[in-house]
Chain A
Amino acid sequence: MSAEELAERFSRLFPRASAPPESTSADGVSADGVVPAEPSRPAQETEHAARGCHLEATLASGEVVAAARLMDEHGFAIDAVTGVDWLAEGQMEVIYDYFHPVNGLRVAVRARIPRENPEIPTVSEVFPGANWHERETHDFFGIRFTGHPDLTPLLLPEDAVYHPLRKDFSGE
């Protein structure tokens, strides 16, 4: 399996048209801010030497579980789940990193969700290892992973109600 084939499968599974723009920001920046993909191809091959990744896919928030299933099917392992707070755009980005233990391919799946109501389905049913990564992301960004079995703070104190990696977190 190559990155091309994978990109092909991504575009068949997730036609861009089905992804509604999730932006809620006033200026209406489109959901795929970082990787400006062509409308028909959610996944783009990237040069590993330049980016550290073979394939990047930007999906709608509802599609991440299907993407995780696709990755699982192809024998990928979960690398990390993390968030980025795009304060100016009023969005949160969730990045799912996968690596392939046999052929070494690296895939990053991205999804953007509105900052006011950051909710995204959990992939911990597909990859149990995502459980902790999602808990950590919930700790740091307050992103709610719907369907997650236990979103109590993992690394932060058990009574923490703040989310330190949000850009408007002041530390007080």
Chain B
Amino acid sequence: MRFITLCVRTLAVSESNFISAAEHAGETFVLNLGPQHPATHGVLRVKLTMDGEYITRAEPVPGYIHRMHEKMGENRNYAQFLPNTSRIDYLSAMHYTHAFVGVVERAAKLEVPPRAEYIRVITSELNRISSHLVWFGAFLLDLGGFTPLLYAFDDREKILDLLEGITGSRLTYCYYRFGGVCNDIDDEFIRGTRAFLEEMRPRLKLYRELVTDNIILRKRLIDIGPISAELCRKYGATGPVIRGAGVPYDVRRSEPYSVYPELDFVVPTHAEGDCMARYLVRMEEMGQSLRIIEQALDRLPEGPVLGKAPKTVKLPPGDYCYAVEAARGRFMVRVISDGKEIPYRVKLRAPSFSNLSLFEEASQGMMLPDALAVMGSLDLVIPDIDR
């Protein structure tokens, strides 16, 4: 291993325009990973200080797709801001809109009919599966395996079709309304979802046999990039990252919302904290989501799907929070109201932001391909970091 380091070093300090004089003197060089790079899945830049192929410092530089959603929130009323929330993390739009309608319902004390709550759970979990499928494909792509991506997208396509049928959109859903959901689900959706449940279980088994048990994949993930529970706590990392460190932290359990307390599901955890643990947590979560959907479909009550809500929502003055378990972890909306039609302050606490912030510490001394595996295992969505 020393040889390669020497090799790179010798080459790196040779005369070159792209390597500065300062780098000549030291033994490290700076590698700009991004903002356009295949492994960052978006416009994230990571400034790597490298010693050969070893990373001595990795400094993420976010902000390339910053849109200031929080300021937008201060300029429009609650209903107008609702579609914004689905554009933050484009892969788990349902969860994000859920958090925002949740905070408004909590503050304005709106009643949500039970049928609507069940529909929210069903669509949220479908969205979680589709988000994890995208992660699965993209993560394998990071590791140089091309084929699983297409398989994952094949399955995801079915979910998108189902959700398109009831919400009208395929990615940035704006389906939840203050006090319920905008459309009732029809028999076609229920039949399609049940059929999907049947199809998806053998597929998860297929992924396990084809991908998870592959020796190269195991070599690339096991014991790579351990992230301890303590590190997660210090950085506020949530979702599969903290569950991959053995802590069963799941907002659906710790701060129960919607009808999740009535449903029976397990929060998968793996104590190893390496890339494999995070990988397995997400794979098992898909199975749990299938269980949740099945139960919710079985218990789906009849009734209205949209409760009474005023045309223009006004929240009583005060400070309200609402957190949901999005596909990437804890997403919290904090709304501070001064009693007017538009919020005084909207704070969006995005999971990818905290998950990425530990990357600098976690990737210390790692080799480039392993660091990229760790970055992939964090499941970053760049607009979610930058908001």
Q: Using a CB–CB distance below 8 Å, which chain A residues touch chain B? A: 34, 48-53, 75-80, 82, 84-85, 95, 97, 99-104, 106, 108, 127-129, 131-132, 140, 153-157, 164-165
With contact pairs A75-B233, A154-B62, A165-B70 given, residues A132 and B357 touching in the complex (Cβ less than 8 Å): yes
Closest 4 A/B residue pairs (Cβ): A104-B254, A52-B321, A129-B235, A155-B63
Check: B249 CB closer than 8 A to any chain A CB.
yes
Interface size range on B against A? 35 or more
Check A80–B347 contact: CB distance below 8 A.
yes
Report the Cα distance A75→B235, complex, angstroms. 12
Q: Which of A51, A131, A153 contacts B319 (CB 8 A)?
A: A51
Q: Which of A100, A127, A140, A165 contacts B234 (CB 8 A)?
A: A127
Subset of 15 A-B contacts with CB under 8 Å: A77-B234, A78-B235, A78-B236, A80-B236, A80-B349, A82-B347, A97-B321, A104-B249, A104-B255, A108-B319, A127-B234, A128-B235, A129-B235, A132-B353, A132-B354
* B233 contact set on A, CB distance < 8 A: 75-77, 101
User: Which A residue's beta carbon lies closest to that of B333?
Assistant: A52
* A155 contact set on B, CB distance < 8 A: 62-63, 66, 386-387
Shortest C-beta distance, B338 to chain A (Å), equals 9
Q: Is the interface of B mostly helix, strand, loop or mixed?
A: mixed
Check B322–A154 contact: CB distance below 8 A.
no
Shortest C-beta distance, B252 to chain A (Å), equals 11
* A157 contact set on B, CB distance < 8 A: 63
* A156 contact set on B, CB distance < 8 A: 63, 66
Check B330–A79 contact: CB distance below 8 A.
yes
* A95 contact set on B, CB distance < 8 A: 334, 347
Check: B50 CB closer than 8 A to any chain A CB.
no
* A103 contact set on B, CB distance < 8 A: 254
Q: Which of B61-103 contact A (CB under 8 A)?
A: 62-63, 66, 68, 70-71, 74, 103
* A154 contact set on B, CB distance < 8 A: 62-63
Shortest C-beta distance, B356 to chain A (Å), equals 8
